Amino acid sequence: MPTFHTYDGTELAYRVLGEGAPLICLPGGAMRAGAYLGDLGGLSATRQLVVLDLRGTGDSAVPDDMSTCRCDRLVEDVEALRLHLGLDRVDLLAHSAAGDLASLYAARHPEALRSLILVAPGTRATGFAFVERAAREAAALRCAEPWYAQALPALEQIWAGHFTDELRAASRPFLYGRWDGAAQEHAARSAREINAAAAQAYYADGAFNPVETVASLRTFPAPVLVLTGEYDGLTTPDRAAELAALFPESEFAVQRGAGHFPWLDDPGAFVRTVTAFLDPEVRSVQAGGIRLAYRVWGEPSAPPVVLAHGRCGDSTTWTEVAERLAAGHRVYAFDFRGHGLSDWTGRYSFELFRDDLHAFLEARNLSGATVVGHSMGGAAAFLLAERQPGLIGRLVLEEAPPPFPLDPPRGPVERPEGRLDFDWPVVPSINAQLNEPDPEGRERLAEITAPTLVIGGGPGSQIVQEDLAWMARQIPGARHVTIDAGHLVHTERPEEFLAALRSFGVG
């Protein structure tokens, strides 16, 4: 492991995993060796993780003076690592007890941070005390687990103020969303990875001045993500939300089905949330209880256009069109649930995608926007336009599947090997609806009041073009154009696609 010497000469070690822009990672515990973070669920595939072993832990040296392990004094070790790496500004991720260390670092060195990620963070540095009622409510969510009755008495003892290694070990199932073999192995390493003497020093008297820290964090200039698990009784969602509210520019995320180690419980969900936050071109919004990632182009004051992608795609499929439209519009392209960097919820339907579009428009205050939907996104758009007259200003349906049963119907499908950029259940779920669509979608086309343009891809498309023409005739005043491009009109023929939009008054 590479090492460096910090301000008092103590030799500290760190691991480097993956490639890309560095992300400094601080382990919790308190004072647990950084090995337990692993590669943070695969985050190393997109970022270079620099995982510090705090002094006295892992491969770092034990200091001569254990009082230097106090949380506030560790701040300068983090700063020494930044200087050692030669970085002017850094992205910093901290887990659990290290959330306190990261908060102190942000308060003392705000100019050194590009962004801050707090995962199930400790909150002593900001003066948020442990709330037993909230912890009990979190524990009660696990009452159906087979281990619950055996583990709860240990947790009760801990709440009563009795802290022993035996009680901690017995209560550990509550820390994980799934108490499977991987979780049990991860938990079993805890005792030997924590330096107990250093942990005691970490919280020693004088470590925290919450009033001063909170005052500094309220003016912290960089973006902050606070992420916790749905079942976390140490940093409950309510407590994490309170912490996020301290920062001027913050996002707050609750990972469904996760406990105190969310990257273990659902690596994909964790990586998508953190990746979206760290990508400067991606933003996220909570819409209808779902985190939707999106990209945006153009001036904020320009007329808005919302681009809705097709099945198995994501917002990046619109990049060329969006950049061109941005000359005169504020352009938004979002990832539907189950796609790209948005939440993958496991359940999918045209109606749920319709609800995503609706929630996104409301969350971004985009009533009256032009909506351009491709394929599945087009189906979501016309279903929404049927139910919410007036919400959509202008409607463009590019190769939207007509609401007629497929003939022949699509049969069973098998998941391909390897990593996918979408949640596989999307495919069989939508195939079933394509085979037997809800007739209401067809019957209510005449209720669409938004000016509508229907774009077909011609004979190269798998969609029956006569059915698209029929749809256009059912929508009052709709225009119908054909661009000989197949199903992917906006990617195969962007010039002709943009020309069609301009003739429709968009562009």
pLDDT digits (tens, 9 = 90+) for 400-440: 999 999 989 999 999 999 999 999 999 999 999 999 999 99
399-409 as b/e: b if 16+ CB within 10 A: bbbbbeebeee
Mean pLDDT of 290-310: 97
- Average pLDDT over the chain, rounded to an integer: 97
pLDDT digits (tens, 9 = 90+) for 317-330: 999 999 999 999 99
pLDDT digits (tens, 9 = 90+) for 354-368: 999 999 999 999 999
Pairing of strands 11-17, 3-5: antiparallel
pLDDT in the model for residue 444 = 97
- Cα 40 from Cα 49, distance rounded (Å): 9
What count of residues does the chain have?
507
Q: Which two tokens stand for residue 412?
A: 């069973």
pLDDT in the model for residue 129 = 86
- Cα 61 from Cα 492, distance rounded (Å): 59
- Cα 411 from Cα 428, distance rounded (Å): 9
User: What is the percentage of the chain residues whose pLDDT exceeds 70?
Assistant: 100
In a 3-state reduction of DSSP, which class is residue 476?
coil
Which neighbouring-strand residues pair with 250? 224
249-273 as b/e: b if 16+ CB within 10 A: ebbbbbbbebbbbbbbbbbebbbbb
- Cα 119 from Cα 271, distance rounded (Å): 12
**Helix or strand holding residue 469 (H, E):** helix 465-474
The answer to whether 395 and 453 have CB atoms below 8 angstroms apart is yes
The vertex-192 CA angle with 183 and 230, nearest 5°, equals 35
**Helix or strand holding residue 268 (H, E):** helix 267-278
CA distances from 49 to 43, 52, 247, 458, 471 (A): 8, 9, 24, 48, 51
Indicate the residue type of 42. G
Tell me the whole-structure pTM to 2 decimals. Answer: 0.94
pLDDT digits (tens, 9 = 90+) for 240-293: 999 999 999 999 999 999 999 999 999 999 999 999 999 999 999 999 899 999
pLDDT band, residue 163 (cuts 50/70/90): confident
pLDDT band, residue 171 (cuts 50/70/90): very high
pLDDT band, residue 472 (cuts 50/70/90): very high
Cα–chain center distance at 494:
30
Mean pLDDT of 348-358: 98
- Cα 434 from Cα 453, distance rounded (Å): 22
Whether the pLDDT of residue 505 is over 90: the answer is yes
pLDDT in the model for residue 363 = 96
Pairing of strands 3-5, 330-334: unpaired
The answer to whether 442 and 466 have CB atoms below 8 angstroms apart is no
Whether the pLDDT of residue 441 is over 90: the answer is yes
Whether the pLDDT of residue 130 is over 90: the answer is no
Task: For residue 301, give every residue at least 6 positions away whose Cβ sits within 8 Å of its Cβ, in sequence order, or none.
Answer: 330
485-502 as b/e: b if 16+ CB within 10 A: bbbbbbbebeebbbebbe
The answer to whether 25 and 50 have CB atoms below 8 angstroms apart is yes
